[in-house]
Amino acid sequence: MTIKALVFDAYGTLYDVQSVRTAADEAFPGYGEIIAEVWRQKQLEYTWLRTLMGRYRDFSVITRDALVFTLRCLALDYHAAVVQRIMDKYLHLDLFPDAKDALTALKDRKLAILSNGSSEMLNALIHNSGMESVLDATISIDPARAFKPSRAAYALIETRLGTAPADVLFVSSNPFDVCGAKSFGLQVAWIERVTPAAMASESVDHQRPAPSTLFKMLRMQMDELGFAPDYRVGALAELPRVVSRG
C-alpha cells in the first residue's frame, strides 16, 4: 500500500504528556507522578464523555477540569495561580528524543498532526518545540467538535490534506487512537513504548502492581476492540524504515 502522508497524534506520541510531572512536583512535592497519571486518565475520559453527551468544550477547558479533579481527589490545597502554572506545561511539553529526527527523515511525504488539542494549544506547543519547519499541517479536531476516536475527527485528515485515508499512515502511541484510526480506514502504526514483558518485570518485586504499572496497563497496551495496527514499532526512529517498505 502506498503512503503519501503521515499524520501523527501529538499528546503521548510526539510529545511526552508525562513530562507535566515536573511542574506538578514543583507545586506539590512528592505528588508529581500520581498527578500526571490521574490527570491524563481523567483528561481522556472527559473527551469521550463530552463527545458522547454532545457537550463539546475545547481541550484546554477539559485539561483544566481534569487537573482540578485530580488535585481535589488527592486532597491537595490549590489555587488558581498554581493550576495555571501546571497547565502552562502543556504548552511546553517535552518532545520525545527521536521525534524531530524521525520526522525530518520523512520529509519526502506530507507530514501533519491530528490532535485533540485546540488550535491555540497546538500552535503554541509546536512553536515552543521548534517543530514548525518540519510539519506541513497541524489539524485540531475543533471543527469537528468531537474528540478522537470519533470518525468525524479522522475525517478532517482528507479534508485538510486532500489525501485518501488508504494513502495515509496514522501514527499514535495511544491504543484507543490506533483502534479508532484503523476502524476509520487509515493505515496505522502503533508506537509500542511499553511491552507486556517490561510491565511484568516491573511487577516482580511487588505483591500488587505499582500505580505506574497500572497506568501503563490502562493507557499503553492495545485494546481488545477488534482492530490491530498495520505496524508495531518501539520508537518513532523506526518509522523511516517502515515507510521505505510501504
All structural domains of the chain with their residue ranges = 5-16+92-245, 17-90
Statement: residue 26 has pLDDT above 80: yes
pLDDT of 32 over the 80 cut: yes
Among 25-34, 56-65, 166-175, 213-222, where is mean pLDDT lowest? 213-222
> Is 65 among the residues known to form the active site?
no
**Residue 10, by phi and psi: left (phi above 0), alpha (psi -120 to 50) or beta?**
alpha
Domain 17-90 homologous superfamily, CATH? Putative phosphatase; domain 2 (1.10.150.240)
Q: Model pTM greater than 0.85? A: yes
pLDDT for res 224: 82
Mean pLDDT (whole number) for 92-113: 96
pLDDT in tens, 178-229: 999 999 999 999 999 765 656 556 655 555 556 666 766 666 677 788 899 9
Q: What CATH number matches the domain at 5-16+92-245, 3.30.70.270, 3.20.20.140, 1.20.58.2030, 3.40.50.1000?
A: 3.40.50.1000
Buried b (16+ CB within 10 A) or exposed e, 124-155: bbbeebebeebbeebbbbbebebbbbbeebbb
Residue 210 has what pLDDT?
A: 66
Which of 9, 16, 142, 177 does the annotation list as catalytic? Answer: 9
pLDDT of 42 higher than 90? yes
